[in-house]
Amino acid sequence: MELKKSEQGSNANWAPPPTPTSEPERVDFHPPESETHLRDYWYIILKRRWVILAVFISVLSYTAVKALMRQPVYSATTILQIDRGRINLVQDVMVQDYWSGYDEFYPTQQRVLMSRNLSRRIVKHLRLWEHPHFGGDKTHTADEQTLEDLAEQVAGMLQVTQIRNTQLMELKFTSTEPKVAADLANALARQYMTFSMEKETTLARDTAGFIREQVEKIQVEIQEREQRLQEYSQRQDLMMVDEKELLVMRQLQDLNGAVAVARTARAGAEANYTSLRAADRQTLPAVLANPTVQGLVQQRGVLEGQVAELTAKFKDDWPDLRRAREGLTDIKSRIEIERNVLAVEVVAKARVEYRAAVEREHLLLAEVESQKKEAQELSKLTTNYTQIKAGIDNQRSMLRQLLRRQSETGLSAELFEREPVNVRIVEAALVPKVPTGPRLSRSLLLGSVVGIALALGLALFLDYWETSIYTIEDLRRHVPLPYMGMVPRLDSDTASRWDALAASSMARDTDKHGKNMSQTRSALALSQSTKIASRAKEDMSLIAERFKFLRGSLLLSTPGRPPRTVLVTGPDKNAGKTFVACNLATSLADLDKKVLLIDADLRNPQLHKVFRFKNRVGLSSVLSGQTSIEKGCVFSTLIPNLYVLLAGPASPTPAELLGSTKMEETLEQCIQLFDYVLLDSAPLLPVFDSHILTVRADANLLVVRSGHTSRNAVRQSLELIDRVGGKVTGVILNDVNLADYAQNYYYSYHSYEYGTYGEDTARKVS
Ligand SMILES: Nc1ncnc2c1ncn2[C@@H]1O[C@H](COP(=O)(O)OP(=O)(O)O)[C@@H](O)[C@H]1O
Ligand SMILES: [Mg+2]
């Protein structure tokens, strides 16, 4: 196929839109925040209306069913009039002033009426454990647990309210059995009356009893103490403690004197003894002074004289001299012996004396000690004595006080007995005939309030967790990109690629009537051959409209001049990239411009399937140098002005091929030959093929599929594109469910922006 270079005219034909500024205007997609705040919530509610409705209806029906399933209940009411009793005349009794809290009076009575104590009394009085309504019969007996349970049950049936600004109290019992309700209400009134009467008298009686007890106790104590005091005095032999103490002190003084004397004596004896023990025994004065020894010493002197005389006269062996000498020796030894014996005696005597002195001293010291102890004991006894006496005095004065109060309380008890709290039954309960519940309207109201709260909560929660982009509103809130337009969801019958394409051409046909009939005849024939239902035909014209608008947005999207190379890409597979590329190309071809649609998705090529070609030659062949654009690898299609360059045989290195300079050259070449070049590409996230193309193309369109593509995927794609230096021109929301009210709401709300304006532009452009 030989292609002529496109005439310059095709570009010149394109007139700039009539905007106030000369710059083409982009669709600004960010209205001021404050304005949209409330609308955001409204929008969330619309979007989640099915969830909200489902939750609301389930809660409501649950409460309704619950209410309907409940047995009818009856209420019986007794009205009591409660007067406050007389003010207590005796204010300073030992009990708390009974009527001090005026404001608390009725709330207190209300609480008393609801108390477990009264419920128990009712249970006992009515013998409820035998009552069939409470699951009993005549054979049953009441143990503590049963009583307690029944009392609780009864308390649960009761409602006590004071009628405002009156002395009236309303006792209402609600039960499934009317008679039980009435019986309980009347029983409570009676029990309360007896209870409050008992309470008043017991209170006074309690006080009197308390005082009596105290008096008795104190009397006993006083008695005990007095007895102790008496015993004590007896033990001291009735002697005055003071005198006794004086005596003890004097004795102690004497003893101390004696101790001093004894200590001196002991010191003398000790000195004597030690000196005697140390001295020479032969020269002791006591020994020397002994008459026996002195006699012997005289004899020795006589004998010595004799011996001296005889020695002068006779020879040594003279018998007289010898005798005299023997006598002298004898006397000397006797003196020696005598002295020794005496010395021993003297020392022994001194020792005995010393020992005795020590003994005496010790005895005296012990005596002093014991005397001191006695003195202490005495003083202790004195203190005890005074203490006991003071205690008794104290007790006596307390007793006096108590006795006075006893008489006062006796008086007040009598007063109480005459003036109890005044309770009257104003209206006894009758057996109710009409049930008072369950009130369906109330349950329903409650159910709806709870239902709405739950539903709204859930909707907001879901919105918080939802990550998919569903609506234009989601896109606006979460994707910071210019919005190009949206493509509605097609009927599943219509959604086949062929039908969609046919849709575009058919719409064109209806648009321009006879003008381009010849060009569209084949497309028409095609659509007729596929026997499209009328509903599908509607869809098709809708699709054609939408693409016209998209075309307008696209042509205005780049400043200065419309883009000539357009890359259609998207974060994920099945976003509708091929669908959008085909339809957009068809729509552009409608402008009588030559459009080349290139399948740049080398991994998963689809264009050949759409146009029912065989994928034998295409972009991969051109890029690998096997062929070139001019050499017949571009095919014309059934749609006039629309040409396709298929992907070509699969290549092991699609990313390299697309990133090569050859690709750049090919694109330039295509621009020379065609007015518009559209590239259908591989998804951005799973493979890194088409990212580089975002730098090459004039405009990059990001296709996001409603309910399918996540916010995160969009964010990641933007990051990847940003990394290679590309820029996304705008985002297209595909597969929008227009049957969805929320979408429709938003769509119609903004329709002037996306519909009318776009259409006008598209017409002007064409
Ligand atoms: N707006 C739409 N309404 C109905 N079906 C659609 C729509 N957009 C795409 N499809 C269908 O979804 C499928 C995937 O679309 P396709 O364009 O092949 O996705 P991609 O090229 O992004 O992988 C196709 O069968 C297509 O017909
Ligand atoms: Mg595809």
List, for residues 726-742, the tens digit of each pLDDT value: 999 999 999 888 776 55
Shortest-distance atom of ligand 1 to CA 736: 1
Name the closest-CA residue to atom 7, ligand 1: 735
Interval 198-226: pLDDT, tens:
766 676 667 777 778 888 888 898 888 88
CA–CA separation, 766 and 763 (whole Å)? 5
171-202 burial, b for 16+ CB within 10 Å, e for fewer?
bbbbbebbebbbbbbbbbbbbbbebbbeebee
Q: Of 683, 691, 701, 681, which Cα lies nearest the Cα of 721? A: 691
CA–CA separation, 150 and 129 (whole Å)? 8
Q: Of 743, 760, 764, 762, which Cα lies nearest the Cα of 752? A: 760
CA Rg value for the chain? 65
Taking the centre of ligand 1 as the mean of its atom positions, its distance from the CA of residue 176, in whole angstroms, is: 64
Q: How confident is the model at residue 237 (pLDDT cuts 50, 70, 90)?
A: low
Within 290-318, where are the H helices? Answer: 291-313
Name the closest-CA residue to atom 13, ligand 1: 574
> Could you tell me which residues are beta bridge partners of residue 488?
736
- Given a cut of 70, whether residue 534 has pLDDT beyond it is no
Q: Which pLDDT value is given to residue 30?
A: 46
Taking the centre of ligand 1 as the mean of its atom positions, its distance from the CA of residue 578, in whole angstroms, is: 7
CA–CA separation, 422 and 645 (whole Å)? 106
> Could you tell me which residues are beta bridge partners of residue 567?
679, 700
Q: How confident is the model at residue 492 (pLDDT cuts 50, 70, 90)?
A: low
Length of the chain: 766
Q: Is the CB of 575 under 6 A from ligand 1?
A: yes
- Given a cut of 90, whether residue 502 has pLDDT beyond it is no
Taking the centre of ligand 2 as the mean of its atom positions, its distance from the CA of residue 641, in whole angstroms, is: 22
Q: How confident is the model at residue 247 (pLDDT cuts 50, 70, 90)?
A: confident
Shortest-distance atom of ligand 1 to CA 494: 4
CB atoms within 10 A of CB 4: 7
Interval 66-105: pLDDT, tens:
888 888 889 999 999 988 755 444 444 444 444 445 567 8
- Given a cut of 60, whether residue 542 has pLDDT beyond it is yes
Domains of the chain: 241-412 (1.10.287), 470-490+545-761 (3.40.50.300)
Taking the centre of ligand 1 as the mean of its atom positions, its distance from the CA of residue 719, in whole angstroms, is: 25
Q: Which pLDDT value is given to residue 186?
A: 93
Residue 738, CA distances (Å) to 45, 477, 617, 735 in order: 17, 19, 39, 9
Write out the two tokens for 736: 């929008």
Q: Which pLDDT value is given to residue 738?
A: 76
**Above pLDDT 90, what percent of the chain?**
36
DSSP conformational letter for 395: H
Which range (132-141, 150-159, 332-341) has the least confidence?
132-141
CA–CA separation, 294 and 482 (whole Å)? 157
Q: How confident is the model at residue 286 (pLDDT cuts 50, 70, 90)?
A: confident
Taking the centre of ligand 1 as the mean of its atom positions, its distance from the CA of residue 600, in whole angstroms, is: 17
Return the best residue to mutate from 579, 678, 687 for the ligand 1 pocket (most ligand atoms within 8 A of CB): 579
Q: How confident is the model at residue 261 (pLDDT cuts 50, 70, 90)?
A: very high
Shortest-distance atom of ligand 1 to CA 705: 8
User: What is the pLDDT of the chain when averaged over all its residues?
Assistant: 80
Q: Is the CB of 609 under 6 A from ligand 1?
A: no
Instruction: Tell me what percent of the chain is helix, strand and coil, each rounded to the nearest 5.
Output: 65, 10, 30
- Ligand with the closest atom to the CA of 579: 1
Q: Is the CB of 577 under 6 A from ligand 1?
A: yes
CA–CA separation, 526 and 739 (whole Å)? 28
Q: Is the CB of 578 under 6 A from ligand 1?
A: yes
CA–CA separation, 51 and 460 (whole Å)? 11
Q: How far is CA 197 from the centre of its chain?
A: 49
Return the residue matching tokens 């011996």. 307
Write out the two tokens for 606: 């689809």
Q: How confident is the model at residue 455 (pLDDT cuts 50, 70, 90)?
A: very high
- Given a cut of 90, whether residue 674 has pLDDT beyond it is yes
Interval 697-712: pLDDT, tens:
999 999 999 988 998 8
Taking the centre of ligand 1 as the mean of its atom positions, its distance from the CA of residue 308, in whole angstroms, is: 176
Under DSSP, is residue 95 helix (H, G, I), strand (E, B) or coil?
coil
Compute the average pLDDT of residues 438-452.
89
Strand order in the sheet with 168-175: 158-162, 168-175, 74-83, 422-427
Written as one letter, the residue type at 339 is: R
- Given a cut of 50, whether residue 65 has pLDDT beyond it is yes
CA–CA separation, 436 and 71 (whole Å)? 11
Q: Which pLDDT value is given to residue 571?
A: 93
Strand order in the sheet with 642-645: 483-488, 730-736, 699-705, 565-569, 676-680, 595-599, 642-645, 634-636
Taking the centre of ligand 2 as the mean of its atom positions, its distance from the CA of residue 486, in whole angstroms, is: 18
Q: How confident is the model at residue 246 (pLDDT cuts 50, 70, 90)?
A: confident
- Phi/psi class of residue 731: alpha, beta or left (left: φ > 0; alpha: ψ in -120 to 50)? beta
Most confident of 334-343, 420-429, 670-679: 670-679
Q: Of 637, 648, 674, 700, which Cα lies nearest the Cα of 501? A: 637
Q: Is the CB of 734 under 6 A from ligand 1?
A: yes
Q: Is the CB of 170 under 6 A from ligand 1?
A: no
- Given a cut of 70, whether residue 335 has pLDDT beyond it is yes
- Ligand with the closest atom to the CA of 570: 1
Cβ(597)–Cβ(678) below 8 Å? yes
Taking the centre of ligand 2 as the mean of its atom positions, its distance from the CA of residue 628, in whole angstroms, is: 23
Shortest-distance atom of ligand 1 to CA 580: 17
Interval 675-689: pLDDT, tens:
999 999 999 998 888
Written as one letter, the residue type at 722 is: D
Compute the average pLDDT of residues 299-309.
89
Q: Is the CB of 640 under 6 A from ligand 1?
A: no
- Given a cut of 60, whether residue 760 has pLDDT beyond it is no
- Given a cut of 50, whether residue 586 has pLDDT beyond it is yes
Q: Is the CB of 709 under 6 A from ligand 1?
A: no
Q: What is the DSSP string of 663-710?
A: HHHHHHHHHHH-SEEEEE---TTT-SSSTTHHHHSSEEEEEEETTTSB
CA–CA separation, 538 and 494 (whole Å)? 10
CA–CA separation, 759 and 577 (whole Å)? 22
Interval 168-200: pLDDT, tens:
999 999 999 999 999 999 999 999 988 887 766
Taking the centre of ligand 1 as the mean of its atom positions, its distance from the CA of residue 604, in whole angstroms, is: 14
Cβ(704)–Cβ(570) below 8 Å? yes
Q: Is the CB of 573 under 6 A from ligand 1?
A: yes
- Ligand with the closest atom to the CA of 536: 1
Shortest-distance atom of ligand 1 to CA 683: 22
Write out the two tokens for 119: 């419920």
Return the best residue to mutate from 494, 539, 574, 687 for the ligand 1 pocket (most ligand atoms within 8 A of CB): 574
